[in-house]
Structure 1
Amino acid sequence: MPPYGAFDGISEPRILPPDTVFLRLPRARRYRHLLIASLLSFLLLAVVWRRSNKAIHQKSLSGYRTPSSFSSPYASELASSEKPLLAPPYTTATGTKVPDHHGWTNTSFHLLVPASESNPNLCKTLLSSFLLDYPPPTLINYGKTFEGNGWDKGTHTGKIRGVYDYLRDAKQFKDDDLVLVIDGYDIWFQLPPEVMIKRYRSIVRTANERLRRQYGMISRKKPWEGDQVERVQMYTQKVVYGADKLCWPNPAEDPACAALPLSTLPTDVYGPQTDKDREGFLNRPRYLNSGTVIGPVADIRAIYERALQKVDEEDRGTIGDQFVFAEILGEQEVQRQVTRSTSQGAGGRWLDWLSNALGTSPPFNGTMNNMTVVPGQRYEFGLGLDYESQLFQTMTHSASDVEFLFYNDTGHLNNLHETHHYASTRLLRLPSDIRHASPPAGRTHGPDDPDAAALTGPTPNVPALPGNTTWLTLPLATNVVVPSIPTLLHFNGDKSMLDSWWPKLWFQPFSRSLLRAYLASPTASAWDTRGGRGGVWTDGKT
């Protein structure tokens, strides 16, 4: 779509000098016919647009009551690229945290894992977090028994309530701390937290640039500064969820399915059948998956508060938490589109129609199920998706996209497209954020801990990761279509993969020795203020 400013540079026709007019006389009739044909085509296009735009507008707003004003529909602040979303910690030799060079106090990184009971799959999730040196996980609802109504006995509603209560009440959280919430029984970490945090910041920065281009800027009064006015983005993103290829369990006409933007991946990433596969395997991920989410504590808490409101007041929790969070994202996108369509001029609507007609932007299907935009209700939460699986690789309909690759095997990497039909033709190389991450063998070392000996015990006949091991020499699960090396894998589809893929992870068969080294390393975590290693926290409610 061309920018609106592209139509501001049209000048008046140039008048020809009298002595050159005769040069144009033989062609006058041809140009006259061409001009008339052009005008007729333009008028016909305008009529078609006017009729279709009216139909589209009526269709998109059917079932809605659009108030004259929304309750804070705009982003609360501009996510400046100058201020880091998470300041990396700087630690002295004694383990004391100090402010970073920008002068902001360091924020912390928290890992929340809803899990009411232990089983081998939860142990795999926790083990992978230990070996990659993530913050000690906090188990939500651990030991709690659910006996509610419905197919899940209330466990999904309990997950929403448990996470919200903990984010609301926990004293160790600051609003700008970063929090990662993951499902407890089907997720494995693959890359260290510093890679995840760098990618999170990059995804948010890129998304905000995209939102600024799409929705523009607004003027508003500066908070607590009288009548001073500032220019800020209309919408910003701070929260990132995993992305799925199919919309489920929401109906196709729900906002969760019908109102979402297209993926940022190329439109032909799976060839000519991209986004046309009813089974979903050749679709680009563009639908929310609730099993993985990362963002600032304040923003995640607000999302869970809205989800709990939907459960308690609107009875939307009977199908599951996936349904609820997907609906929140869909309603956010509806609100953005409705606000945009009611505030832009005829030129903007014409450009939108032209983009839809040319297939360069998705048509907005607003025929939602009796949805009403309620004045005073918050719909804007700064939600977005990890379209390119840089953070979260959801495996439903995507397992065939993933292969374990050694990045020192250049021969195999260069010829990957010959063995994988949809593999990217881009040259696969280990990304710089992984190359510059702490080496796997050097992640768990430190001074002797007298308590560690009792935990680790002797290590005879236990394979150890060689000291010169680098990320280049390890098998890394790679989405060869995107391509990307995700920081974690989410097996939300075929659960048999939880057994068949576990031996493929890079820390096999060294997990036992790596765990012992992890337990013997310093207890001061780089990203969590509470410290501790080799165990889990609980929410203290059970």
Structure 2
Amino acid sequence: MHAMRCFEDGRARRIYPQQFKRLVRLVSYILGFLVALYYFLLYVDTLQPLDPTLLERYEPPSSVIAGQRKLALVLPVDGPSPQLCKVIASAVALGYPHPIIVNWRKHDLHVNADPSIPSHLLKITGVLDLLESAVDGSSSQLPRMGEDDLVVVMDAMDVWLQLPPEILIQRYFAINARANARLAEQYSDCDLAAPQQSIIVSAQKRCVRPHNTVSDLHCQDLPQSPLPDDLYGMWTDLRISKAEYRRARYLNSGGFIGPAGDLRDYFVRVRDRMERNLKSQPTAELAGDQGIFAEIWAEQEIWRKQVISEFEQPDLVEEKFEYHVGLDYFQELFYPTCGSERSGSFVEIDDEAALKQASSSAGVAPLRLHDLPDDISRAHPPLSSLDDETSWSAKSLFADFWTTAIPVAIHNNAYAHGLKSRQQTWWDKTWYFSHLRSLIELRAASNASMSVAEIDAVEGSLQVQPYRTPDGSEAAFLFAKRMRKLEAASWDEICQADGMPPWWEEVLRDGRGSM
């Protein structure tokens, strides 16, 4: 039997079993040490207190002007499903305006020759059809939407709201105020006036363009995140680290909020770029909307950098690049779970033991999240309409244990390792789940035309009214350009998919049948 051979100075040498065992043991010790060092370096910075600016970011903005504005919630989707039903149920239960659905039953996927690729491009045209029709007032049967009325656009299948509309709107103004302060500082030495941010889009941790090989995302030219640069310790933003340890600084098209007029202009620009690219590229190469939205935003950011550069003043051109778009860097409004699969979970802030356990499972120890943000603490108790004064801190809320963000909406887009199943397994963890039927029925019986939010403003308050009020127990309104009006849709119509079990078995789970 031949012994194992290695080469040293050209001579053969025997390696005996005892020596081999020692070698294996030494390699094991070294690997164990390296793994321990990795985790020590990864978590050592969590021993430091979190930057206090992260915890004091909810001061009421002083830029809100008193008066009245409307709020519309828009969902692009072409057919019924229990997942769509959850999105709408979360909105109605929390007091949001009943959603407006665009592209309903729209199977003319002319922008997508390959039916195997999801045609997310219809989000662009469907939302724009509504904005142009409502803002321009081209139909007498469609309620008029003012240029400054607020519009929220969300993915219709996997985004759950968890905080009420007054918190959404307060944060909208606060985020814009912080962004505009940064812009004013950046433009302080520039002859041109600083641009104003009015549109906020969801932010994510990866620079990607699903179903799109055409759009240029300009990943290297985008602004850095305003979050602390040591948020995840020494691994923050390193290319070799997981996406989980990167700060969110790339556009995700799952959530938008902004004035109707500015959103219309942004969507027009995106639609024009889409149509231009479709004329020169195979449709299979351009089947996703996110890349186009991200490209237009990136061009805006590149334009801004050129404007404030002392070495490169851009020539005046006819093409417009400024669309007043910024990102939800803190993920206070919309929280995509893709790239943050372990960073957050549902927890009660009052349950200290569970809070510490959940934080530790996310890799954050000692605890960073101790209390609710002020805007949640100041809000009415979540079940006060049902004569239950239980506080928000005793309710199950989704939180990110690294950033301490408790977002308005959770975007359940994590998919690796079967995490899409969270759309089923996490649903009953929401604070409103066990009260869903009661909250929705109470909403149907109440005066739905009343204000959805009242925000402190300069010299008074801002009253926010629903864009369209329901007439009865409808779940949503349907819009199509050819209809030029809104049509009411029942819960059964928007929730029950063909060939599927009854929708209420998944959405309500209370054994009491339909709504």
TM-score if structure 2 supplies the norm length?
Answer: 0.69
Q: Which amino acid aligns with 2:262?
A: D
Deviation at 1:410, TM superposition (A): 3.8
Q: Which amino acid aligns with 2:297?
A: L
How far apart in 1 are the matches of 2:118 and 2:424? 27
What's the counterpart of residue 158 of structure 1? Answer: 122
Is the 8 Å Cα contact of residues 217 and 291 (structure 2) preserved in structure 1? no
Deviation at 1:109, TM superposition (A): 0.8
Task: Say if 1:443 and 1:377 are closer, same or farther in 2 by CA, change over 3 A.
Answer: farther
Deviation at 1:507, TM superposition (A): 1.1
How far apart in 2 are the matches of 1:377 and 1:333? 15
Alignment partner of 1:341 is 2:309? yes
Is the 8 Å Cα contact of residues 215 and 291 (structure 2) preserved in structure 1? no
How far apart in 2 are the matches of 1:217 and 1:110? 38
Deviation at 1:511, TM superposition (A): 1.3
Q: Which amino acid aligns with 1:438?
A: H
Count of residue pairs brought into register by the alignment: 385
Deviation at 1:280, TM superposition (A): 1.1
The CA deviation string for residues 138-175 of structure 1, in whole angstroms up to 9 with x for no partner, is: 00111211333146667322221111111011142100
- Secondary structure of the corresponding residue to residue 118 of structure 1: coil
How far apart in 1 are the matches of 2:151 and 2:195? 21
Deviation at 1:516, TM superposition (A): 1.9
Q: Which has the higher contact order (CA 8 A, sep 6+)?
A: 2
How far apart in 2 are the matches of 1:295 and 1:271? 34
Is the 8 Å Cα contact of residues 348 and 395 (structure 2) preserved in structure 1? yes
Is the 8 Å Cα contact of residues 232 and 245 (structure 2) preserved in structure 1? yes
What's the counterpart of residue 375 of structure 2? Answer: 433
What's the counterpart of residue 493 of structure 1? Answer: 414
Alignment partner of 1:531 is 2:487? no
Deviation at 1:334, TM superposition (A): 1.1
Q: Which amino acid aligns with 2:207?
A: C
What's the counterpart of residue 174 of structure 1? Answer: 146
Alignment partner of 1:237 is 2:237? no
How far apart in 1 are the matches of 2:302 and 2:366? 33
- Secondary structure of the corresponding residue to residue 399 of structure 1: coil
How far apart in 1 are the matches of 2:194 and 2:189? 5
Q: Once structures 1 and 2 are overlaid, which stretch shifts more, 422-431 or 470-479?
A: 422-431
Q: 1:284 aligns with which of 223, 244, 247?
A: 247
How far apart in 2 are the matches of 1:152 and 1:107? 41
Q: 1:123 aligns with which of 54, 68, 85?
A: 85
- Secondary structure of the corresponding residue to residue 404 of structure 1: strand
Where do 1:342-421 residues align within 5 Å? 375-413=317-355, 418-421=360-363
How far apart in 1 are the matches of 2:205 and 2:253? 13
Q: Which amino acid aligns with 1:161?
A: T
Is the 8 Å Cα contact of residues 101 and 479 (structure 2) preserved in structure 1? yes
RMSD, aligned CA: 2.7
Deviation at 1:339, TM superposition (A): 2.3
The CA deviation string for residues 368-402 of structure 1, in whole angstroms up to 9 with x for no partner, is: xxxx9993111111111111111111110112111
Q: Which amino acid aligns with 2:295?
A: E
How far apart in 1 are the matches of 2:422 and 2:218? 28
Is the 8 Å Cα contact of residues 238 and 295 (structure 1) preserved in structure 2? yes
Q: Structure 1: where are the runs of 5+ without partners? A: 1-80, 88-99, 221-232, 346-371, 445-465
Deviation at 1:189, TM superposition (A): 0.5
Deviation at 1:439, TM superposition (A): 1.7
Task: Say if 1:417 and 1:169 are closer, same or farther in 2 by CA, change over 3 A.
Answer: closer
What's the counterpart of residue 50 of structure 1? Answer: none
How far apart in 1 are the matches of 2:319 and 2:103? 29
Alignment partner of 1:269 is 2:263? no
Deviation at 1:406, TM superposition (A): 1.1
TM-score if structure 1 supplies the norm length?
Answer: 0.66
The CA deviation string for residues 152-205 of structure 1, in whole angstroms up to 9 with x for no partner, is: 667322221111111011142100001100010111000000000001110000
Alignment partner of 1:329 is 2:250? no
How far apart in 1 are the matches of 2:316 and 2:84? 41
Alignment partner of 1:310 is 2:273? yes
Alignment partner of 1:507 is 2:432? yes
Q: Bigger radius of gyration, 1 or 2?
A: 1
- Secondary structure of the corresponding residue to residue 74 of structure 2: strand
What's the counterpart of residue 157 of structure 2? Answer: 185
Deviation at 1:340, TM superposition (A): 2.3
Q: Once structures 1 and 2 are overlaid, which stretch shifts more, 248-257 or 187-196?
A: 248-257
Deviation at 1:540, TM superposition (A): 3.6
Q: Which amino acid aligns with 2:478?
A: T
Is the 8 Å Cα contact of residues 337 and 410 (structure 2) preserved in structure 1? yes
Q: 1:146 aligns with which of 96, 108, 121?
A: 108
Percent of pairs with identical residues: 33
Is the 8 Å Cα contact of residues 140 and 162 (structure 1) preserved in structure 2? yes
Q: 1:202 aligns with which of 157, 163, 174?
A: 174
Task: Say if 1:106 and 1:217 are closer, same or farther in 2 by CA, change over 3 A.
Answer: farther
Task: Say if 1:287 and 1:374 are closer, same or farther in 2 by CA, change over 3 A.
Answer: farther
What's the counterpart of residue 7 of structure 2? Answer: none
What's the counterpart of residue 20 of structure 1? Answer: none
How far apart in 2 are the matches of 1:428 and 1:294? 29
What's the counterpart of residue 36 of structure 1? Answer: none
Deviation at 1:108, TM superposition (A): 0.7
What's the counterpart of residue 5 of structure 1? Answer: none
Is the 8 Å Cα contact of residues 147 and 153 (structure 1) preserved in structure 2? no
